[in-house]
């Protein structure tokens, strides 16, 4: 085992407070949130059971990164939304895509800094430019 891996090997949790493993060396029953989700599971109220630590140079700054692990044996199936919840989400998403100026569904979530669809924002910008040109 390399020195880097040995630095993160703490299955008893004496050094880091919780069981800690190097990259790709955690037991098979411990999964990340993404791995649980891919299996159709959720943590089910359990806290973090362990962590994986590794050295990273992401964005140019060296440091140590962590991924938290949950025990698959205590995981529960993911909840499914009720038909009413799905309808409410569809309505909310439609409202986020509807332009208040032209009242069209833009097909994308409207940028919050503009508050309108890109077509309406372009028209407003051209109107402002032409008004400035006339005033000058």
Task: Indicate the domain borders of the chain.
Answer: 3-77, 83-135
CB 129 within 8 A of CB 121: no
Model confidence pLDDT, tens digit, residues 51-86? 999 988 877 778 889 999 999 999 999 999 999 999
Read off the pTM. Answer: 0.65
| Average pLDDT for 111-132 | 90
Query: pLDDT category, 136, cuts 50, 70, 90?
Result: low
**Pair of tokens at residue 58:** 């992401």
Check whether 135 has a pLDDT greater than 60. Answer: no
d(CA 94, CA 38): 27
Mean pLDDT for the chain overall: 91
pLDDT at 18: 96
85-105 per-residue burial string, b: 16 or more CB within 10 A, e: under 16: eeeeeeeeeeeeeebeeeeee
Model confidence pLDDT, tens digit, residues 29-47? 999 999 999 999 999 999 9
């Amino acid at each position: 085992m390399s020195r880097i891996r040995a630095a993160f090997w703490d299955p008893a949790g004496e050094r880091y407070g919780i069981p800690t493993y190097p990259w790709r060396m955690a037991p098979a029953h411990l999964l990340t949130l993404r791995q649980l989700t891919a299996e159709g599971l959720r943590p089910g109220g359990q806290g973090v059971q362990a962590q994986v630590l590794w050295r990273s140079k992401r964005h140019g700054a060296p440091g140590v990164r962590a991924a938290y692990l949950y025990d698959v044996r205590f995981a529960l199936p993911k909840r499914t939304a009720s038909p009413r919840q799905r309808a409410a989400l569809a309505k909310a998403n439609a409202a986020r895509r509807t332009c208040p100026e032209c009242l069209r569904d833009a097909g994308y979530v409207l940028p919050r800094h503009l508050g309108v669809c890109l077509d309406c924002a372009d028209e407003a910008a051209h109107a402002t430019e032409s008004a400035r040109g006339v005033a000058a």
